Amino acid sequence: MAQQELSPHIQDSIAYLTITSVEFLRVARLAIKPDILPSDVAFRTVKACYKYYDLTKEAPGDHICDVIQEELSGISESKKELVYHFLDRVSQMKPPNTKYVIQQLNTYAKTRTLEVAAVDFVKLVEKQRFSEAELIMYEALKTGIVSEEVGYDYLHDAPVTPDVEERLVSMGLTHFDKIRVLKRQDLVVFLGGPKGKKSWALTHLGKEGLLQGRNVLHISHENSEQETVDRYDRMIIGATGRYWDKREPVKICYVDDDTEKLAYDEEFRHCIRDPEVPQKARDVMRKFGGRLIVKKYPMYSCTADEIERYLDYLERFENFVPDILINDYPDIMKTNESNANRDNLNVLYMKHKRWADDRNMLVAVVSQARREAIRAKRLTMKDFAEDIRKVANCDVAIGICQTDAQSEAGLATLYVLAARTGASDVGCGICQNLDIGQFATQSFPAKLGVQVADEDDSE
């Protein structure tokens, strides 16, 4: 949803980018006037950075305090303190989502410029000065950041390397990450049967996002906030969920490096109910720079509009813009009851894809497989329940497959069922141990898992 105002987070991000990024200054300098910024401290910071860039063609970087001195001459000491406090806060930011910042700034600049131009246009028309009125509106309509308005000029813009520019998060599994690294603007769907570990897969992705310094918003329509938080604690710590002893023996599955075969061992693990254990883990996770927010909605109460409202709220009041949005799961959200259920789901999935594009983030959801696919060795695109159009709307579909024998052995397989770009119909095996909250502890070639764990090798 395009905003008509700039949130404090976006204003902080604009200041951060004008201080640190020559690339941002190149596209913003001629297109965006600093006086449209609603915050005085952001206005003064951006104005000073523009002046420095005009002289040096560089971003101020560590010289920002020296650069801003001229801009602060003649103002009161209290206002100077506000600016320095603002700069100190901005200097502690992690690098923002640049593309999303440019989108928001571009929309805001056009809105503000058109508002002012509309007033002048009416005055000139009343005076019958039509040529001047036309020129004002023409100039106003040209407002905006060129790269955002024009798009990618293939013959003139520099080549883009997707692995450098877009890669956002890996699954932390060697054999899967060779197949697929997830990117901004991806809509990823995990497909599995009922109780098929789909929610665990989302929690695993969220955990990996935190480990890689990303902001993660995890929305649940089934599990409570506490249940989801417990899963994250166990996912990070590898702890048991039992209530009694502080340490419990658990069976661990792994691939032996010497024999390249699956093996099992027993380890003692902490209990999640020991409060010191998760607290220490969270202290460590904070050092990676990401944030995790968990939000629970009652089943069949949350709409797509509510999620958009909540995203805007987090940005405006919590300075939180997710890199990864996890929604568990769209099929049980409230939709337009006047339409057929399949049409509702199709629209809902298209909205998830739009969020990924508009907000330049990864969106990950789960979907139910057909009853016939439960405990199957392999899932295919045909196994999506309700509406096959889900496949058309997503960028990556990942199947979570587990036969009865694999489940007993603590194994499963992940397959890329469909992909808008890159390889599909490829996958790997994973070791699981949900007793200690581990959706995947290790990956290995998929065939190995089938041979060891499946009693029927004739298929």
Give the domain CATH number at 323: 3.40.50.300
Which amino acid, residue 397?
A: A
User: What's the pTM?
Assistant: 0.88
Q: Which two tokens mark 50?
A: 């523009």
Mean pLDDT along residues 45-71: 96
Residue 116: domain span? 8-150
- Average pLDDT of the residues of the chain: 88
Q: What is the pLDDT of residues 351-396, one digit of tens each?
A: 999 999 999 999 999 998 888 777 888 888 888 877 778 888 999 9
Mean pLDDT along residues 253-273: 86
CB 96 within 8 A of CB 13: yes
Burial of 241 (0-12, 13-18, 19+ CB in 10 A): middle
Mean pLDDT along residues 247-257: 85
User: In the chain, what is the straight-line distance between the N-terminal and C-terminal CA atoms, in Å?
Assistant: 49
Question: Pick from 281, 273, 235: which is nearest to 437 by CA?
Answer: 235
Q: Which of 107, 122, 150 marks a domain boundary?
A: 150
- What Rg, from alpha-carbon coordinates, does the chain have? 26
293/373 same-domain check? yes
205/134 same-domain check? no
Mean pLDDT along residues 9-16: 96
CB 416 within 8 A of CB 427: yes
316/347 same-domain check? yes
pLDDT of residue 389: 83
177/54 same-domain check? no
Q: Is there a domain that residue 323 lies in?
A: yes
Mean pLDDT along residues 248-274: 86
240/359 same-domain check? yes
267/361 same-domain check? yes
186/47 same-domain check? no
Give the Cα separation of 297 and 398 in Å (integer): 25
Choice between 343 and 17, residue whose per-residue pLDDT is larger:
17
Q: Which two tokens mark 284?
A: 């460590």
Choice between 245 and 304, residue whose per-residue pLDDT is larger:
304
SS3 of residue 365 by DSSP: strand
Q: Is there a domain that residue 3 lies in?
A: no
Give the Cα separation of 286 and 306 in Å (integer): 28
Q: Is there a domain that residue 2 lies in?
A: no
Q: Is there a domain that residue 393 lies in?
A: yes
Q: Is there a domain that residue 162 lies in?
A: no
Mean pLDDT along residues 4-21: 93
Residue keyed to tokens 């770009």: 421
Q: Is there a domain that residue 459 lies in?
A: no
Total count of domains within the chain = 2
Q: What is the pLDDT of residues 399-447, one digit of tens each?
A: 999 988 888 889 999 999 999 988 899 999 999 999 899 999 999 987 6
Question: Pick from 3, 64, 14, 63: which is nearest to 37 by CA?
Answer: 14
Q: Is there a domain that residue 160 lies in?
A: no
SS3 of residue 384 by DSSP: strand
Angle between helices 40-56 and 77-91 (to 10 degrees): 70
Q: Is there a domain that residue 386 lies in?
A: yes
